[in-house]
Amino acid sequence: MDAIRPLLQPITTSLPAPIKNLGISLIGDHCYASLIENIDISDTACIKLGISKGLGIGIIAASSIVKVPQILKIISSNSAAGLSLLSTLLETDAYAISIAYNFRNGFPFSTFGETALIVVQNLVIAVLILHFTGRGAYAGVLIAGFAAAAYALFTPNVIGDKTMTVLQASTIPISLASKIPQIYTVWQQGGTGQLSAFAVFNFLAGSLARVFTTLQEVRNPDCLP
């Protein structure tokens, strides 16, 4: 690295202002100077932060489509067989709480941004399940109820900080509990039906990567997914 540093530094120290400002906004002045301008790969703390930020952005980008295969599979088959509405709703509730908690505590968007995208996709899946199981009329009620709950979660005057902390702690058992109805549905129906294996495994991979980024950037165990 010492040999090529003099060749790279004229480029890294003269990057356009928009690129430099973006880099600083992601990893801060110190790490930007260390990693980009000085090309110091011995700065372990900044290396970890850079990897964490990269993973965070990658997770958010991947999460924008992580459940799209599931949605397409339901639509193409005109069936929601094998999918549990309760499981989807519990998972959505846990993520909504997590989003509100992270937002209200001012944590970096890169540590929780994918949850917002997953919530939107989960709501689409929930509406499709209702539609293909003959309960489409309840879709409006579902969306209105979620909007009311989201408003309460994001409003400190409605749900105080202490209550919000308790709710955040409850996301772990809620997330675990959300898997039980789905497992039971698969067992009851004797197959996975329209459940997308691609979405499930990509979701798992994203969750494992998110553990690293949360520990690296937030260092608050209450925020683990």
What confidence tens digit (pLDDT) does each residue in 1-11 have?
667 777 777 88
pLDDT of residue 70: 85
Tell me the pLDDT tens digit for each residue of 71-94.
988 999 898 888 899 999 999 999
Q: What is the pTM of this model?
A: 0.67
Residue 50 near residue 100, CB atoms below 8 Å: no
CA distance 6 to 104: 44
Phi, psi of 76 (to 5 degrees): -65, -30
> What share of the chain in percent tops pLDDT 90?
34
Distance CA(102)–CA(210), nearest Å, equals 14
- Given this model, what pLDDT does residue 110 score? 67
- How many residues make up the chain in this entry? 225
Query: Residue 33 carries which DSSP code?
Result: I
List the end-to-end C-alpha distance of the chain, in Å, as a whole number.
Answer: 37
Residue 199 pLDDT level (bands cut at 50, 70, 90):
low
Average pLDDT over residues 35-55: 82
What whole-number percentage of the chain has pLDDT above 70? 80
Average pLDDT over residues 171-189: 86
Q: Please state the rounded mean pLDDT for residues 156-184.
A: 91
pLDDT value of position 140: 94
Nearest 5 degrees, angle CA 181-CA 186-CA 188?
90
**25-29, 90-94, 151-155, 166-170, range with the lowest pLDDT:** 25-29
